[in-house]
A = this chain, B = another copy of it.
Amino acid sequence: MSRPPLTPLGPGGEFDRLRAVFARLGERVSGVGDDAALVEVDGAPLAFSCDLVIEGTHFRRDWLTPEEIGWRACAAALSDLAAMAAQPLGVLAAVGVPAGSEGAFLEDLMEGVARAAAYAGASVWGGDLVQAPIVTVDVTVVGRADRPVRRRGARAGDRVWVTGALGAPAAAVAAWDAGHQPHPGVRTRFARPVPRIAEAAWLRDHGATAMLDVSDGLVGDAGHLAAASGVAVMIEAERVPVHGGVGGDSRPHVLTSSRSGEDAAGAADAAERRIVLALRGGEEYELLVALPTSFGESDARAFVRAFDLPLTCVGAIAEGTGVSVVRAGKPWDIGGGFSHFSIT
Q: Count of A residues near B, CB < 8 Å? A: 69
Closest to A129 in B: B18
Contact A92 B54 (CB under 8 A): no
Chain B residues with CB under 8 A of A90: 1, 30, 37, 39, 48
Stretch at the interface among A136-144, A287-295, A325-333: A136-144
CA–CA, A17 and B102, complex, Å: 7
Contact assessment for B96 and A37 in the assembled complex, using a CB-CB cutoff below 8 Å: no
Q: In the complex the two chains form, what is the Cα distance from A3 to B123 in whole Å? A: 10
Residues of chain B lying within 8 A (CB to CB) of residue A130 = 14, 52-54, 57-58, 340-341
8 A Cβ contacts from A59-106 to B: 89-90, 92-96, 99, 102-103, 106
Q: With A and B bound together, what is the CA distance between A124 and B93 in angstroms? A: 19
Distance to closest chain B CB from A335 (angstroms): 20
Give per-residue flags for A215-235: 1 if the beta carbon is below 8 A from chain B beta carbons, else 0.
000000000000000000000
Contact B50 A110 (CB under 8 A): no
Q: Is the CB of B127 within 8 A of A92?
A: no
Interface stretch, picked from A21-29, A180-188, A274-282, A297-305, is A21-29
Is the C-beta of A272 less than 8 angstroms from some C-beta in chain B? no
Contact B142 A50 (CB under 8 A): no
Contact of A267 with B by CB under 8 A: no
Instruction: Let me know if A5 is at the binding interface, CB within 8 A.
Output: no
Contacting pair A51 B128 (CB below 8 A): yes
Instruction: Confirm or deny: A49 has a beta carbon within 8 angstroms of a beta carbon on chain B.
Output: yes
Interface status of A306 (Cβ within 8 A of chain B)? no
Q: Are A25 and B126 in contact (CB under 8 A)?
A: no
Pick from B29, B53, B103, B341: contact of A123, CB below 8 A.
Answer: B29
Distance in angstroms between the alpha carbons of A21 and B102 in the assembled complex: 10
Question: Which positions 119-158 of chain A face chain B at CB distance < 8 Å?
Answer: 123-134, 136, 138, 140, 142, 144
Q: Which of A's residues lie within 8 Å of B, judged by CB?
A: 1, 3, 14, 17-18, 20-22, 24-25, 28-32, 36-37, 39, 41-44, 46, 48-54, 56-58, 89-90, 92-96, 99, 102-103, 106-107, 110-111, 114, 117-118, 123-134, 136, 138, 140, 142, 144, 340-341
Counting from the closest, the 6 A-B pairs by CB-CB distance are A42-B44, A52-B94, A138-B138, A140-B140, A37-B126, A37-B125
Q: List 18 A-B contacts (CB under 8 A).
A: A1-B90, A17-B103, A24-B111, A28-B123, A39-B123, A41-B41, A42-B144, A48-B90, A48-B140, A48-B142, A49-B126, A50-B93, A50-B94, A52-B136, A54-B131, A57-B132, A58-B130, A142-B142
